[in-house]
Amino acid sequence: MNSTSHAPGSCALRTAVVLAGFFVLAACVSTPPAPTAGLQAAQRAIATAEAAEAGRYAPGELAEARTELASADTAVSDQRMTLAARLADESRVEAELASARTGQMKAKAVNDEMARSTSTLIEEMQRSSGAKP
Amino acid sequence: MNSVNFNQLVPGRTLIAAAVAAILLAACTAAPPRPVGAAEARGKLTQLQSNPDLANRAPLAVKEADAAVRAAEQPEADRELGAHRVYMADRKVEIARAQAETSLAEDQRSTLSAQRESARLDARTREADAARDQVATARAEGAEQKVVAEQARTDADTARSDAASSEQQATELRRQIDMLQAKPTDRGLVLTLGDVLFTSGRADLKAGATGNLNKLVAFLNQYPDRTAAIEGHTDSVGNEDSNQGLSERRADSVKSYLVGQGIGASRLSASGKGENDPLAGNDSAAGRQQNRRVEVIISNPVAALR
Q: Are B112 and A117 in contact (CB under 8 A)?
A: no
| For range B120-149, the mean pLDDT | 77
Picking from B76, B107, B138, the residue at the C-terminal end of a domain is B107
Most confident of A108-122, B74-88, B207-221: B74-88
Q: How many domains does chain B have?
A: 2
Residues B183, B102, single domain; the answer is: no
The whole-number average pLDDT for the span B185-194 is 79
Task: Report pLDDT for A129.
Answer: 65
Same domain, yes or no: B184 and B286: yes
For residues A39 and A88, give the distance between their C-alpha atoms in angstroms, rounded to a whole number: 5
Does residue A54 or residue B193 have the better pLDDT?
A54
Residue-level pLDDT at A97: 97
For residues B184 and B267, state if they share a domain: yes
**Most confidently modeled range among A3-7, B22-26, B291-295:** B291-295
User: Contact B13/A111, CB-based, under 8 Å?
Assistant: no
Coil, helix or strand at residue B83: helix
Let me know if residue B118 belongs to a domain: no
Per-residue pLDDT for chain A (133 aa), expressed as one digit of tens each? Answer: 444 445 555 667 777 777 766 665 555 555 678 899 999 999 999 999 999 999 999 999 999 999 999 999 999 999 999 999 999 999 999 999 999 999 999 999 999 998 998 888 888 877 776 554 4
Please provide residue B279's backbone torsions phi and psi, each rounded to the nearest 5 degrees: -90, -30
Minimum-distance CB partner of A118 among B9, B98, B115: B115
Is B25 within the bounds of a domain? yes
The ranges assigned to domains in chain A are 34-105
Among A109-113, B152-156, B185-189, the range with the most confident prediction by mean pLDDT is A109-113
B100 Cβ neighbours under 8 A, 6+ residues apart: B48, B54, B55, B57, B58, B61, B62
B286 against A70, higher pLDDT: A70
pLDDT at res. B169: 64
CATH of the domain at B192: 3.30.1330.60
**Within a 10 A sphere around the Cβ of B66, how many other Cβ atoms?**
17
* Assembly ipTM: 0.74
- B103 with B183, same domain? no
Same domain, yes or no, for B287 and B187?
A: yes
Query: A35 CA to chain B: closest CA distance, Å?
Result: 16
Contact between B12 and A8 using a beta-carbon 8 Å cutoff: yes
pLDDT at B218 exceeding the cut of 60: yes
Percent of chain B with pLDDT over 90: 24
Last residue of a domain, one of B90, B107, B124: B107
Across B239-268, average pLDDT: 88
CB atoms closer than 10 angstroms to residue B281: 13
The answer as to whether B146 is a domain residue is no
User: Which of B16, B84, B116 shows the shortest C-beta gap to A118?
Assistant: B116
Is residue B41 situated within a structural domain?
A: yes
Contact B13 A132 (CB under 8 A): no
| Structural domain contains residue B271 | yes
Q: Which of A90, A114, A115 sits opposite B84 (nearest CB)?
A: A90
Any residues with CB less than 8 A from the CB of B209 and at least 6 apart, and which?
B196, B197, B198
Spatial distance between the Cα atoms of B47 and B53, rounded to a whole number of angstroms: 11
Q: Which residue has the higher pLDDT, B75 or B1?
A: B75
Please tell me the predicted confidence (pLDDT) of residue A5.
46
pLDDT of A2 reads 46
What's B204-219 look like in SS3?
A: CECCCCCHHHHHHHHH
> Cβ distance B90 to B44 under 8 Å?
yes
pLDDT of residue A1: 44
Contact B207, B256 (CB under 8 A): no
Range of the domain at B19: 2-107
Partners of residue B229 on adjacent β-strands? B269, B297
Give every CB contact of residue B14 below 8 A, 6+ residues apart in sequence: B6, B7
Taking the CA of residue B117 and the nearest CA in chain A, the distance in Å comes to 8
**Contacts B15 to A, Cβ<8 Å:** 12
A17 touches chain B (CB under 8 A): no
Residue B304 has pLDDT above 50, yes or no: no
B91-95, B135-139, B147-151, B194-198 — most confident range: B91-95
Does B156 score more than 70 pLDDT? Answer: yes
